């Protein structure tokens, strides 16, 4: 508890605020009267973000303003602002070949599998999303080139050793994740209740350029998942990190306590155990995510090797386990959060 104190604004303060607002309007009116080519704003740090506008599904093309606004790094903006205040005349040139086109647009999933020899109808899914934001300078490495590479390499490993699992191992690269988990949701909607019941688990690698360091799991799933990941522990050692790149299965109580910002949430919403790999390591996710910094040099080879090998081994062990991964009732801790999965991904 704390006391509240209320104060009435003085006439002088109100008048000053009104004068400032009127001054701002007058300045903006004078700027607009010069018919400017556009506006330059600051990103507030050294990253230039690329993402979608809010509520873009509901907006029509005519709802978008026609004024041009260019967002630049804070250091670039500070330089431009300082030179302007000094009265320096200069020219700023931008390549703005931007186009808005009305949808809908098709998005596609890429799916391959190793058929099960004994129970082909039962499935383990290893996946990532294949789409990324095509921002200035971005190559989509963090989100989600590394996850895509890990999925493909896990498939290559199992194919190279001639794996013959009892259950089917399915590899999926989801499309339209950045627009609201569209690919994974569409895939799930295409399945029958029986097909959904036969999915043992779906794993998603979408956490950046670190290694697969663990997953959250309901308590009754921990034993199965710990056994499936055990062969990785103590094998991969990072000289740079000074430690083994092990996998930690984190018990989270009666249900899986996870978030709703990637394709695993679409499976959880359908009652299928969906797992988002904990990415552990020295990479800083926010440095590259949705920015101009998301280039190939952010990928860390030893982490990719651990992740691809772990994904392959987990899939193979679960495909040969005595039974499907245990599930008891609802598998997702925050079911209501899954309802907001598309919105959460959109807001990213």
Q: Is the pLDDT of residue 342 over 60?
A: no
User: Is residue 134 very low, low, confident or very high in pLDDT (cuts 50, 70, 90)?
Assistant: confident
In the predicted structure, residue 191 carries a pLDDT above the cut 90: yes
Element (DSSP H or E) covering residue 72: strand 69-72
**DSSP per-residue codes, 80-139:** HHHHHHTT----------------------EEEEE--SSEEEEEEEEEEE------TT--
Q: How confident is the model at residue 336 (pLDDT cuts 50, 70, 90)?
A: very low
pLDDT band at 12, cuts 50/70/90? confident
Model confidence band, residue 301 (pLDDT cutoffs 50, 70, 90): very high
Please choose, from the candidates 242, 281, 276, the residue with its C-alpha nearest in 3D space to the C-alpha of residue 262.
Answer: 276
Average pLDDT over every residue of 111-132: 98
In this prediction, residue 51 carries a pLDDT of 76
* Residue 335 to residue 253: CA distance in whole angstroms: 15
pLDDT of residue 9: 79
CA-CA distance, 237 to 231, in Å (whole number)? 14
pLDDT tens digits for range 213-250: 999 999 999 999 999 999 999 999 999 999 999 999 99
pLDDT at 244: 98
- Mean pLDDT, range 154-170, rounded to an integer: 98
Per DSSP, the three-state class of 244 is strand
- When pLDDT is cut at 50, 70 and 90, the band that residue 30 belongs to is very high
Tokens of 16: 């000053």
Lowest mean pLDDT among 43-47, 59-63, 239-243, 313-317: 59-63
């Amino acid at each position: 508890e704390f006391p509240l104190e209320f104060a009435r604004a003085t006439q002088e303060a109100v008048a000053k605020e009104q004068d400032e607002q009127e001054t701002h309007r007058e300045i903006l009116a004078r700027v607009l009267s010069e018919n400017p080519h556009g506006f330059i704003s600051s990103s507030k740090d050294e990253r230039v973000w690329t993402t979608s506008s809010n509520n873009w599904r509901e907006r029509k093309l005519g709802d978008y303003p026609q004024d041009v606004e260019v967002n630049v790094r804070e250091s670039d903006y500070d330089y431009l602002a300082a030179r302007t205040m000094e009265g320096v005349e200069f020219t700023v040139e931008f390549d703005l070949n931007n186009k808005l086109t009305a949808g809908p647009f098709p998005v596609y999933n890429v799916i391959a599998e190793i058929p099960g020899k004994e129970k082909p109808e039962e499935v383990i899914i290893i996946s990532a999303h294949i789409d990324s934001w095509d921002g200035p300078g971005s190559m989509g490495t963090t989100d989600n080139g590394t996850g895509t590479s890990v999925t493909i390499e896990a498939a290559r490993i199992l194919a190279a050793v001639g794996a013959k699992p009892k259950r089917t191992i399915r590899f999926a690269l989801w499309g339209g994740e950045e627009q609201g988990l569209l690919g994974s949701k569409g895939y799930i909607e295409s399945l029958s209740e029986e097909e959904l019941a036969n999915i043992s688990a779906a794993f998603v690698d979408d956490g950046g350029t670190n290694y697969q360091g663990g997953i959250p799991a309901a308590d009754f799933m921990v034993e199965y998942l710990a056994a499936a990941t055990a062969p990785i522990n103590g094998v991969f050692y990072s000289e740079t990190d000074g430690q083994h790149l092990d996998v930690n299965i984190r018990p989270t109580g009666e249900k899986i306590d996870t978030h709703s910002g990637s394709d695993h949430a679409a499976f959880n919403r359908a009652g299928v155990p969906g797992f988002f790999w904990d990415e552990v390591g020295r990479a800083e996710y926010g440095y590259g995510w949705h920015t101009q910094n998301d280039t190939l040099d952010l990928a860390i080879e030893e982490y990719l090797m651990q992740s691809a090998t772990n994904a392959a081994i987990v899939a193979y062990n679960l495909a040969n386990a005595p039974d499907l991964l245990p599930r008891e009732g609802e598998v997702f801790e925050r079911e209501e959060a899954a309802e907001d999965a598309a919105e959460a991904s959109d807001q990213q």
